[in-house]
Structure 1
C-alpha cells in the first residue's frame, strides 16, 4: 500500500516537473521570437531611418548647390557650364531618391518623396541658361525667384521627411524597449520555474530518503 502511494507521488511529481519544463521550453520559443523582433527593430532603425537621414543630408547638399548656381551667388564664378552642373546635381539627387524609395516608406513619407521628386524632375529641369541670365538684361530676377520658390517647396518636403525619421525612429525604439522589458520579465519567470523544479525535486528526494529511513527502522 505504501509503495503504491509512493509511486503515485512520484508520478505526480514527474508530471509537475514535465509541465514546468514545457513552460520553460515555451518561454524559450517566445524569447527567440522576441529577439528576432528586436533584431528587426534595430535593423529597421539603421536601414530605414539612420541611412535615410544620410540620404536627406546628401540631397540637401545638392539642392543647396543648385540654388547657389541659380541665384548666381558667386560673382567671380564661371557660369558657362551652369546647366550641366545643375543637371549633374539633379541626377545625383534622383539617384539618391531611387535608393530612398527602396526603404520602408510610411504613407506620408511616400507623399513627401513623390512631391520632391516631381519638383526635381519637372520644375527645376532647366534647359537653357537664358532662362536665368542674358548679357543684355543680366539675371532674370522673376525666373530665378520662381525657381527659388520651387526649391523652398522642395526644402519643406525634405524637412517633413526628416521629421518623419525622428518620429518613426522613436516608435521603433519604443517597440524594441518594450520587447526588451518583456524579455526581462520572461527571464524572471524562467528563474521562478527553475526554483520551483528544484523545490519539487528536493521534496521528492527528501521524502524518498525519509521513507527509506522509516522502513529501515
Structure 2
C-alpha cells in the first residue's frame, strides 16, 4: 500500500476514479437506450402483434358468419353482402394500420383478393365455398406470422435485459474498486497526519 503515500500515485488513482465515473456515465446512457428499446419492443408486441391477431380473429368471425348464413339459407341478399364486406373493409383498414412485414403484406394482399372474389361471387349467386376456405388459409398464415414476429420481439427484449444486467454488474464492480481506492487514499492520509503529530523526542 506504499503507493497511497505517493502524490504521483494519488494522481494516477484520481485519474482512475475519473475513468470509473466516465464509464458509469456511459453505462447510464446505455441503460437509457436499452429502456427506449424495451419500450419500443413492448409497444410493438401489443400494437403490431396482439392487436393484429385480434383483427385476424374478427376477420375470421365475419367469414364464419358468411359461411353459416350460406349453410342455413343457401344464399345472401345483395344488401347483406354489402353489410358483411363493409365490416370486413373496416377491420382490414385497422389491420393495415399495424406494422406489416413483407411476408405479411403478401398474404394480406392475397386475402383481400380472395374476399373480393367472394363478394363478387355472392352477388352473382355462384358457389364461393372454395374461396372462403382459401381466405381461411391466408388468415391462418397471417396468424402464424404474428406468433413468429412476437417470438422475435421477446427474444430481443431478453437480450436487452441480459445486456442491462451485465452492465449493472460491471458498474457495481467498478464502484467497489473505486470505493477501495478512496478508502486506501483516506487511510494513507490519516496515517501521514498521525505520524506528523508524533513529538520529535519520540522519533
Same fold? TM cut 0.5 = yes
Structure 1 outlier segments of 4+, above 3 Å: none
Check conservation: 2:27, 2:171, Cα contact below 8 A. Answer: yes
2:49 corresponds to: 49
| Structure 1, gaps ≥5 residues long | 133-142
Q: What's the counterpart of residue 136 of structure 1? A: none
Q: Which residue of 105, 109, 129 maps to 1:110?
A: 105
Q: Tell whether 2:126 aligns with 1:149.
A: no
- Tell me the C-alpha RMSD between the 2 structures: 1.8
| Residue segments in structure 2 that go unaligned for 5+ positions in a row | 199-203
Tell me by how many angstroms 1:101 deviates: 1.3
CA–CA distance in structure 1, aligned partners of residues 197 and 78 of structure 2: 105
Alignment of 1:2-41 (within 5 A): 6-41=6-41
Which residue is 1:95 aligned to? 90
* SS class of match (1:73): helix
Q: What secondary structure does 2:97 align onto?
A: coil
CA distance in 2, matches of 1:86, 1:66: 9
CA shift for structure 1 position 181: 1.2
Query: In 2, Cα distance between the equivalents of 1:192 and 1:82?
Result: 74
Does 2:65 match 1:65? yes
Partner of 2:157: 176
> Is the 2:115–2:131 Cα contact (8 Å) retained in structure 1?
no
CA deviation string 1:129-180 (max 9, x = no partner) = xx43xxxxxxxxxx32xx0100111100000000011111011001101111
Superimposed CA distance per residue, residues 109-146 of structure 1 (whole angstroms, 9 cap, x where no aligned partner): 00110011111224423464xx43xxxxxxxxxx32xx
Q: Which residue of 2 aligns with 1:212?
A: 193
Work out the number of aligned pairs and report it.
194
Once structures 1 and 2 are overlaid, which stretch shifts more, 10-19 or 47-56?
Answer: 10-19
